[in-house]
Structure 1
């Protein structure tokens, strides 16, 4: 058993998988979780680094799922949490089923902040711990044809800033927000966005690079990291561009059937 213990959510694929790999390489025992059976295969991969790994298939869109995750720690001290689990949803808001957009909100917001409240209480009490929250530069942009998802990321980006300020006197606890742009993962397929410009684009970031940026910022205790220089430019521009212009730009990226159109 290692001296360090980390929880990584959404660890079966993509950014979460890469974050868990990096944590294992750095000697952290792991509790990895996802809402699909593939998490077991991912856990087997992490074990190659010689650390203890437990895998859990759980629905982190529910309070019960988060409670199952916390129970699986068996009371062990949690040194690091990568709150990476997230869900996307494309198409126009009026065409979306209530169950689908609620699941996005419950995964990206409710389950995430419930987990953070639980683990941060213990970290603040002992004055030690690290949190990495996967936000997005999407939180800076009104998300036409991805309105609920972008709204959840705006919440997460803002929430992290607020919590960081609330616990600023606890010097040993850090909260870092990782804010990538589009990443080459299963996200766009699962969100039914493969027929969009952004979904079909070959210019997405590599999840390995994004995870490494997030991990480096986490270890330094930085507040934010926007992964990729193009995304840094886009984030900066978003702060000074009218919302209506941003929404129209996002429409061109995310409107169904826009793939291949300028």
Structure 2
């Protein structure tokens, strides 16, 4: 991977942190990005693998933040992009502040697309590059008490399938969608969901999820659902009525459903 360059967003914690470790171990030079100062400490961890690592604190829910990220590359060729930055939001939609649900949409959809487009355009032009987009099995499920988040992931899952088809003639470019289930990260605390069943229950290990995504990315696979339970849930979502799935999700995500 000499002189190969990768960007990993949402890299301060969780799945993004683990993906950045895997990229550094593989010898990629890194630009790691997150919307919190912790990204600097994370970068120190990644440098232990002996590769060049630059860290940037930027809010990728804004076009200005994405522009800062792109400027930070210094025009260097981007060989790998892990578009992992995401934000959740729990509670009922009617109780949410517009600024809160807009930030979820702007992070998960608008910022992601604003970053993907110029990177993908350059990859297609040279017929070479790899992209990993973190979607979610949440995109298959009507997300009662998590409606905006699940809606954004439905968009991302669908969008990735569409652009993969659009660029299929550029066979040197691969787009892989990583679709985890509930994972042991700061996601549920930040989404104010610790009092929910899904927030309190045991969740998947982010290292295992990242490894599944990385292996699929390196193999050029289109999709990977991480975890056998999540594979079953994703399969069930395709044949179960939406109203039934919404009620099941309510039992997981409604505030006050955590046991104990």
TM-score, structure 2 as length reference: 0.99
1:69 aligns with 2:69: yes
Runs of 4+ in structure 1 deviating by more than 3 angstroms, as ranges, are none
In 2: Cα distance, 1:21 partner to 1:194 partner: 27
Partner of 2:24: 24
* SS of residue matched to 2:37: coil
Superposed CA RMSD in Å reads 0.9
Partner of 1:247: 246
What are the Cα deviations for residues 94-114 of structure 1, in whole angstroms up to 9, with x where unaligned?
000000000000000000011
Cα shift at 1:197: 0.1
In 1: Cα distance, 2:90 partner to 2:230 partner: 21
* SS of residue matched to 2:70: helix
Partner of 2:132: 132
Partner of 2:141: 141
Question: Do the aligned residues in 2 keep the contact of 1:2 with 1:51 (CA within 8 Å)?
Answer: no
In 2: Cα distance, 1:92 partner to 1:75 partner: 43
* SS of residue matched to 2:258: coil
Question: Do the aligned residues in 2 keep the contact of 1:2 with 1:52 (CA within 8 Å)?
Answer: no
What are the Cα deviations for residues 182-236 of structure 1, in whole angstroms up to 9, with x where unaligned?
000000000000000000002x100000000000000000000000000000000
Partner of 1:79: 79
Cα shift at 1:3: 1.6
1:157 aligns with 2:161: no
What are the Cα deviations for residues 47-100 of structure 1, in whole angstroms up to 9, with x where unaligned?
000000000000000011001000000011000000000000000000000000
User: Mapping of 1:71-110 within 5 angstroms?
Assistant: 71-110=71-110
User: Mapping of 1:105-254 within 5 angstroms?
Assistant: 105-202=105-202, 204-254=203-253
Partner of 1:40: 40
Cα shift at 1:260: 1.6
* SS of residue matched to 2:208: helix
In 2: Cα distance, 1:152 partner to 1:40 partner: 28
* SS of residue matched to 1:49: coil
* SS of residue matched to 2:48: helix
Gaps of 5+ in 1: none
In 1: Cα distance, 2:121 partner to 2:64 partner: 19
In 1: Cα distance, 2:75 partner to 2:178 partner: 28
Cα shift at 1:2: 3.7
Count of paired positions: 260
TM-score, structure 1 as length reference: 0.98
